[in-house]
Amino acid sequence: MSASHTDQMDKLGSLKMFVRVAQAGGFAKAAARASLSTAAVSRAIMELESSLQTRLFNRTTRQISLTDAGRRYLSHCERILNQLELADAEAMGASAQPTGRLRIHATSSFGQHYLTPLLAQYTAQFEDVPVDLVLSQRTPDLLEEKFDVAIVVAQTLKDSSLVSQRVGLARPVLCASPSYLMRHGTPRTLADLEHHICLQLNLPDMPATQWLFEDAGSESLRTPKPAPLTVNMPEALAQAVQAGMGLAMLPVPTALQGIREGSLTHVLPSVRAVPHNIYALYASRQYLDAKIKTLVEFLRDTVPQKIAGHEEALQAAQARQPRDGLFGVNRALRSIDPPSR
> What is the pLDDT of the chain when averaged over all its residues?
83
Looking at the predicted structure, is the pLDDT value of residue 173 above 80? yes
User: DSSP character for 86?
Assistant: H
Q: What is the mean pLDDT of residues 244-249?
A: 94
Q: For the segment 176-221, what is each residue's pLDDT rounded down to a tens digit? A: 999 999 999 999 988 898 899 999 988 877 766 678 888 655 666 6
Query: What are the contacts of 82-86 at 24+ separation with CB within 8 A?
Result: 84/12
Range with lowest mean pLDDT among 107-111, 190-194, 225-229, 307-311: 225-229
pTM, 2 dp? 0.68
Average pLDDT over residues 274-290: 85
List, in sequence order, the alpha helices (H) in the chain: 3-24, 27-34, 38-52, 68-93, 108-110, 116-125, 142-145, 178-184, 234-242, 252-261, 290-319, 321-336
Decide if 295 contacts 280 (C-beta within 8 A). yes
CATH code, residues 3-85 = 1.10.10.10
Q: What is the mean pLDDT of residues 33-54?
A: 89
* 155: DSSP letter: S
Architecture of domain 173-275+307-336: 3-Layer(aba) Sandwich (3.40)
Mean pLDDT of 313-322: 81
Q: Give me the mean pLDDT over the 114-127 stretch.
A: 93
Q: Is 133 left (phi over 0), alpha (psi -120 to 50) or beta?
A: beta
CA 246 to chain centre: 33
Question: 102-163+279-305 — its CATH code?
Answer: 3.40.190.10
pLDDT value of residue 320 = 77
Q: Are strands 149-154 and 276-282 parallel, antiparallel or unpaired?
A: antiparallel
Angle in degrees, CA 207, 213, 218, rounded to 5: 120
Per the model's pLDDT, the better-predicted residue between 203 and 278 turns out to be: 278
Is the four-CA dihedral 195, 196, 202, 206 of positive or negative sign? Answer: negative
How far apart, in whole angstroms, are the C-alpha atoms of residue 277 and residue 164? 11
Question: How far apart, in whole angstroms, are the C-alpha atoms of residue 113 and residue 98?
Answer: 25
Q: Which of 115, 110, 112, 105 is nearest to 145 (CA)?
A: 105
Candidates 103, 107, 95; CA nearest to 146 is 103
- What count of other Cβ atoms lies within 10 Å of the Cβ of residue 186? 15
**103-120 pLDDT, tens per residue?**
999 998 899 999 999 999
For residues 185 and 337, the model is more confident at 185
pLDDT of 334 above 80: no
pLDDT category, 322, cuts 50, 70, 90?
Answer: low
List the single range of 34-43, 178-187, 218-227 with lowest mean pLDDT: 218-227
- Confidence check: pLDDT of 303 > 80: yes
Please give the average per-residue pLDDT across 125-149, as a whole number.
Answer: 90
Pairing type for strands 149-154 and 102-106 reads parallel
* pLDDT, greater one: 127 or 327: 127
Q: Is the pLDDT of residue 327 over 50?
A: no
Choose among 138, 93, 131: nearest CA to 298: 131
C-alpha to C-alpha distance for 172 and 318, rounded to whole angstroms: 15
pLDDT at 162 over 90: no
Distance in angstroms (rounded) separating the CA atoms of residues 103 and 40? 48
73-107 tens-digit pLDDT: 998 988 888 788 767 766 665 555 788 899 999 99
What three-state secondary structure class fits 5?
Answer: helix
Outline which parts of the chain fall under CATH 1.10.10.10. Answer: 3-85
Q: What would the mean pLDDT of 18-28 be, rounded to a whole number?
A: 88
Instruction: Say if residue 237's pLDDT is above 60.
Output: yes
Strand 200-201, strand 230-231: pairing: parallel
How many angstroms separate the CA atoms of 65 and 175, rounded? 86
What percent of the chain has pLDDT above 90? 40
Where do the CATH 3.40.190.10 domains begin and end in the chain? 102-163+279-305
Residues of the chain with CATH 3.40.190.290: 173-275+307-336
pLDDT for 91 = 63
CB-CB contact of 150 with 142 (8 Å): yes
Residue 187 · residue 267 · CB < 8 Å: yes
Highest mean pLDDT among 53-67, 177-191, 309-323: 177-191
Mean pLDDT across 238-244: 96
